[in-house]
Structure 1
Amino acid sequence: MKNDLPDAASLEALLQLQREAHARAPYPSWETRAAHLKALRTMLLENGDALAQALHADFGQRAKAEIVLSELWLAKSEIDSALKHGKRWMKPQRRPTGMWLRPATAKVIPQPLGVVGIVAPWNYPILLAVGPLICALAAGNRALIKMSEFVPRTAELTKQLLERTFAREQVAVVTGDASVGAAFCALPFDHLTFTGSTTVGREVMRAAALNLTPVTLELGGKSPAIIGPDARFDAAVDSIVAGKTLNAGQTCIAPDYVLLPRGTEQAFIERARSRVARLYPDFAHNRDYTTLISERHFDRMRKLADEALAAGAMLHSLTDCTPDAVRKYFPPCVLTNAPAASALMQEEIFGPLLPLVPYDTLDDALRYVNARPRPLALYLFDEARPTIERVLRETVSGGAAVNETLLQIACEGLPFGGVGASGMGAYHGYDGFATFSNMKPVLVQPRFNARALLLPPYGRRFYAVMRLMMKL
C-alpha cells in the first residue's frame, strides 16, 4: 500500500513556499487580511453541515447542535471580532519616551511574523484549527495546520475546504500520524501553536527549542470547580454539570474535580442526577450526548474509575445506564472518597468522571488547589465578594470564571491561555493578534535634539547634565 503521508522534505518545501510568498508581501494590507477572514467565514458557514457530519462520524455520536455552538459559532464570532477591530489593531501605538529623550517620539509597530504553525487536537478540531488561524491571518501571516489523526474524516474535509479557499502559499493543511506531527513541530516556524496534552506539549517545546521557535502551548490540566460557602448551590451544580457533560467532558477547560463544603456531597449527587435527566432525557437513546473518541479513551475512563474503586472510592452514576464499549458511550459519573494518589486524582481526566473533594474551610480548599500544578481554568461559585476576590487573588490559573463554566472561552475580549503546566502564551482577539505579531518598538529622533549633551568627551557639561538627570 502506498504511503501518501508527507515526509520531512515535503513539509520543508511547503514551509519554504510560504516563506517565499511572505518575503514578496511581508506586510499585507487590511483589505487583504479582511478578504482572507471573510473567505474563511464563508467557508465555515457554507460547509457547516458537512463539517458537523464528518465530526459526528469521527466520534461515533456528536450532536450537530453541540458542534454548531461549540465550534462553528465560536469560530464565526472570533472572525467577526477580528473584522470589527483588526484595522485598529494594525495601527502603530504611541508610547511615552520619558522627559529626557524628548523631542524623540516612540511607537510600537505590529509586524507580521511570517509563517505560523498550528497543531490542532481531536476534541474540537474545527475550532482549535481555525481559532489560531483567525489570529494569524488578522496579523498578516501565512499558516500551516497539522490536523489530528484521531478525526480523519474531519481532518481530510478541513484540508479540502481550506485548500479550495486559500492558495497553498497562504494556508495549507497537513494530515498524518504522530510521526508527521513530530516532523511538523520540528520545522523552523516563526511561531508554533500547539493544543493537546502536557506530555506531548513537552515534546513539542523540545522540538521547537532546537530552532528557537516561540511557542504557544494550550495544555489543560486538572481544572478545579470550587463551590464556596455562600454559593447558590443548585445553580453551581447545574453549571458544573453543563460544563462537564459538553462533549462528554472531552474539553481542556472542563471542570476536572469539585471542591465543596463537607457534608454536601449527597446533595450534589442528587442535584446532578436531576440535571442530567433534564439535559439528556431518555439517556440510553439520547442523541445529544457525545460518545468518547476512541476505544482506547473509553478503556482509559473505565480504568481510571476501576482503579479508584479498588482503592476505596465510591462511584455514583448520574444515569441508569452503564458504559457501552461497543458504542464508546460512557455516562457521566460522580466519584467520592477517591484517594489522592489514584490516577483519577493525579491525571487530567478528559472525560465524564467527576470526583468530589470535600473541604472544611476555604483555607483548606485553597491549599488543595495550590498544592497542585496550575490549571488551565478555575471555576468559583460564590456570592460573597470578599471570597471571590480572595480566591482569584490567591490562586493561579490560565483563566477563571465566577458562577459559570466554560464560557470564558467565548468572551471576545479575553485572552485564552495556560500558565505553568497548563501551558504558556495566549490567543483570541487582540491578544491573538499580538501573539502572532512582532510588536516592534521604534524610536524616531528628530533632526534637532539634545543627544550631543551626552556624547564624549565627558567634561563639565556632561556631568552637569547627569547631575540634573539623576536629581529629577
Structure 2
Amino acid sequence: MRCVWADALMLGRGGFFSVVVYDDFHRREVGDDELQSVPAENYPMSVAQLPIFPPASLTPQLAADIQRVFAAQQYTALALRSSSVEQRIAKLKRLRAVLMEHRDAVVEAAAKDFKRPAVEVDFTELMPVIMDISDYCKRLNKWLKPRRVRPSMMMLGTRAWVRYEPRGRCLIIAPWNYPVTLTLGPLIPAIASGNTVMIKTSEIAPNLSTVLVKIIRQVFDETEVAVFEGDATVAQALLELPFDHCFFTGAPSIGKVVMTAAAKHLTSVTLELGGKSPVVVDRSADIELAAKTIAWGKFINAGQTCIAPDHIYVHSSIKDQFVQRVSAHLTEWYGEGMAAKGAELSRVINVRHSQRVASLIDDAKERGARVIYGGAVDIDAHFVSPTLLDNIPDDARIMHEEIFGPLLPIISFETVDEVIWRINAAPKPLALYIWSKDNASADSIIARTSAGGTCVNHIAAHFLHHNLPFGGVNNSGIGSYHGEWGIRAFSHERAIVKTQVLTASLFFPPYKPRVRKILGWMLKHL
C-alpha cells in the first residue's frame, strides 16, 4: 500500500487549495483532479474530507486592478517617507472614528458569520484596536524619534543614530477568526510607520470582510491603503508582487507558502502563526481561578483563537477537582451538550471546519479517548458544544493537529519534568500558560521551555498588554508586533554615522610603525 499523507495546505493554482503530499516518501503537489481520483482510504481523514472548492475568484479585471494599485502605491510610498508624525496620527484618529461609526455593523456582521455575542465582539474585535490606536497616538513621536547611540573607541569623533524609516509597500494577509482585530491591528503600525498597504481579507468570514472594506475605503485612498476580497488565488496574485514587507496571520502550513513566495523577492516577513498552546496546572494552583479562566479563554469564539489553550497538563492529584470546576462553569455559562445551542456561544465558522472539529472527536474516541463533558455536534448549524476529553492516546490527531475549535484535551501528569519533556518534544507554541502559586516552579518551566509568549496565572493577557511584543517562535511565527514592536516590524532601522574628524585615516596606507603600537594598545584595552 502506498504511503501517502498530507504535509500542508497550499495556496492552489486552479481552486482554493491544493494539497502537498508525500507519496512513497517523494514530495509533490496534488491537484483537484488527482485528489478526487485517489481512494479516500489512502488518505488520512483530514485530507480525505477536504472538499473541492469553487472556481477561483481572481478575474482578469481584479488581476489588473492589483497590478495598477501596486504601481500607484510606489509613488505614494515615496511621498509618505517625509510625512509628519502629526499627519500619521490624524489618519489613525480618522480610522478610530470611522470604526466606531460602524460598531453596530461590525456586531451584526460577526453575528452573521459566527453568531458571536455582541459583548465578545466589543471586547475582542473593537477594544484591542481602539486601545492600540490610542497608544500609538500618545507615543508615536517617541517611538519614531531617531535613537542616538554612543560611539565605540574606533568611532571617536563621530555621531551615530538609528533612524526609523518606512519599509515602503506592505502586504497584509488577514485571517478569518478575528477579522477586525487581526486586520486593523497590523494596519495601525504600518500606517504609523509611513507605509502604503495592500490588504487581503478572508472570504471565510464574508460579512465582516464586507464591513472592513467599507471602513478602510472610507478612511484611505487606494493609493495608500487598498483592500481586496476573494479566495486564495487573490492572495497568490498579491504574493507574486515584490512588496517591501509582508505581514501574514494564519496557519503555519500557509505561513511556509507565504515565506517561500516572499523569498523570491527577498521580501521581509512577519508571520503570526499558531500551533498547540499548552497549559500547565500544577498542584499548587488556585483550582477555582484556573478552571474559570481557562474555560473562558478556551471557549470564547468557540475556541477559534490562535492563543487559545489547546490542551491541558494538570497534576493528577487535582485533576478530578479541576475537571469538575471547569464543567460547572461551562454548564453555568452555556448549558451542556445541545443545550448550549441556545446560549451566547459563538459557532464554528462553517460546515467544513465543523466537520474537521467533529472528526477530531471521532478519531480520539476510536483510539480510546473519553468524552467527559459535552461532545454534541450539529454540523449544519456549525455547532460543536464545549467538550472535554481525557485518556487521549499520543497518536490521536487531536494531540498533533491544532484544534482551533471548542475541544479541550486534559492530560494528567505526575512530575513537571514529564510535562517539560512533552512540551519540548513538540513544535514551539505561540503561547504557554502556567498555573502555579510556586514562583520557583513557574520560573523553572519558563527557563526550560520556549514559546512565543507566556502567562502565569492568566490566559491570553500578553496579547492585550501592548507594552509587550506579540509573536511566535519558529513554527508559531517569525517576528512580532504591538506597540513599539509594531514600528520595528514595519520600519527599516537605518544606521547613520556622521563625522567631522576622520580618525580612521590613521590606518590608511602607507602604514607607519606607530600604527601597530596604536593598534596594540587598542587591542589590549578594548
Q: Same fold (TM over 0.5)?
A: yes
CA contact (8 A) 1:226 1:258 kept: yes
Match of 2:99 among 26, 44, 47: 44
Counterpart for residue 355 of structure 2: 299
Counterpart for residue 466 of structure 1: 519
Instruction: Kindly indicate whether residue 371 of structure 2 is the aligned counterpart of residue 315 of structure 1.
Output: yes
Q: How does 1:42-441 map to 2 (within 5 A)?
A: 42-59=97-114, 61-280=115-334, 283-284=339-340, 286-318=342-374, 322-441=376-495
- Per the alignment, in what secondary structure is the counterpart of residue 27 of structure 1? coil
1:74-133, Cα deviation, whole Å (9 max, x unpaired):
000011110010011111001121123111111100001111110110000110000000
**Matches of 1:285 and 1:207 in 2, distance apart?**
42
Question: 278-287 or 415-424: which moved more?
Answer: 278-287
1:211-238, Cα deviation, whole Å (9 max, x unpaired):
1111111111000000023111221111
Instruction: Kindly indicate whether residue 492 of structure 2 is the aligned counterpart of residue 450 of structure 1.
Output: no
Shift of 1:3: 6.4
TM-score normalized with structure 2 length: 0.86
- Per the alignment, in what secondary structure is the counterpart of residue 421 of structure 1? coil
State the superposition RMSD in angstroms: 1.6
TM-score normalized with structure 1 length: 0.96
Shift of 1:202: 1.0
**Matches of 1:3 and 1:265 in 2, distance apart?**
49
**Matches of 1:281 and 1:66 in 2, distance apart?**
18
Counterpart for residue 15 of structure 1: 70
1:425-453, Cα deviation, whole Å (9 max, x unpaired):
0011000111100010111111x342221
- Per the alignment, in what secondary structure is the counterpart of residue 120 of structure 2? helix
**Matches of 2:477 and 2:56 in 1, distance apart?**
38
Question: 143-152 or 227-236: which moved more?
Answer: 227-236
Counterpart for residue 44 of structure 2: none
- Per the alignment, in what secondary structure is the counterpart of residue 463 of structure 1? helix
| AA in 2 matched with 1:445 | T
**Matches of 1:205 and 1:81 in 2, distance apart?**
30
CA contact (8 A) 1:219 1:252 kept: yes
CA contact (8 A) 1:317 1:331 kept: no
**Matches of 1:314 and 1:88 in 2, distance apart?**
54
CA contact (8 A) 2:283 2:318 kept: no
1:333-382, Cα deviation, whole Å (9 max, x unpaired):
11111111111000000001111111110111111101100000000000
| AA in 1 matched with 2:398 | L
Unaligned runs of 5+ in 1: none
CA contact (8 A) 1:453 1:461 kept: no
**Matches of 2:159 and 2:65 in 1, distance apart?**
46
**Matches of 1:99 and 1:286 in 2, distance apart?**
71
**Matches of 1:9 and 1:456 in 2, distance apart?**
57
**Matches of 2:495 and 2:362 in 1, distance apart?**
56
**Matches of 1:441 and 1:24 in 2, distance apart?**
21
Shift of 1:2: 12
**Matches of 1:376 and 1:334 in 2, distance apart?**
22
| AA in 1 matched with 2:386 | P
**Matches of 2:57 and 2:256 in 1, distance apart?**
28
**Matches of 1:313 and 1:186 in 2, distance apart?**
45
Q: Using a 3 Å threshold, how does the CA distance of structure 1 residues 449 and 335 change in structure 2: closer, same or farther?
A: same
**Matches of 1:2 and 1:372 in 2, distance apart?**
35
1:372-427, Cα deviation, whole Å (9 max, x unpaired):
00000000000111111111111100011010001210001011101011111001
Shift of 1:27: 2.4
**Matches of 1:8 and 1:187 in 2, distance apart?**
11
- Per the alignment, in what secondary structure is the counterpart of residue 134 of structure 1? helix
| AA in 2 matched with 1:234 | E
CA contact (8 A) 2:58 2:233 kept: no
Shift of 1:285: 5.0
**Matches of 2:91 and 2:238 in 1, distance apart?**
24
- Per the alignment, in what secondary structure is the counterpart of residue 410 of structure 2? strand
